[in-house]
Amino acid sequence: ILQNSDVPLSAADIYSEMEKGGEKAWMSTIYRILELFIKHDMVIKTNILNHDVAVYELNRFEHKHYAVCLNCHRMISMDSCPMDEFIPNLEDKDFRILGHKLEIFGYCKDCKTA
CATH number, domain of 1, equals 1.10.10.10
Q: What is the CATH number of the domain that holds 109?
A: 3.30.1490.190
60 vs 38, higher pLDDT: 38
**67-80 tens-digit pLDDT:** 888 888 888 888 88
Fill in the amino acid letter for 82: P
Mean pLDDT of all residues in 92-111: 85
Answering whether pTM is above 0.85, one says: no
Whether residues 1 and 29 share a domain: the answer is: yes
User: Phi/psi of residue 20, each to 5°?
Assistant: -60, -35
Rounded CA separation 69/72 (Å): 6
Q: What is the DSSP letter of 84?
A: G
Range of the structural domain that residue 20 is part of? 1-59
Q: Are 55 and 77 in contact (CB under 8 A)?
A: no
> Where among 59, 89, 106 does a domain terminate?
59
Q: Say if residue 14 is in the same domain as residue 55.
A: yes
Contact of 27 with 35, CB cutoff 8 Å: no
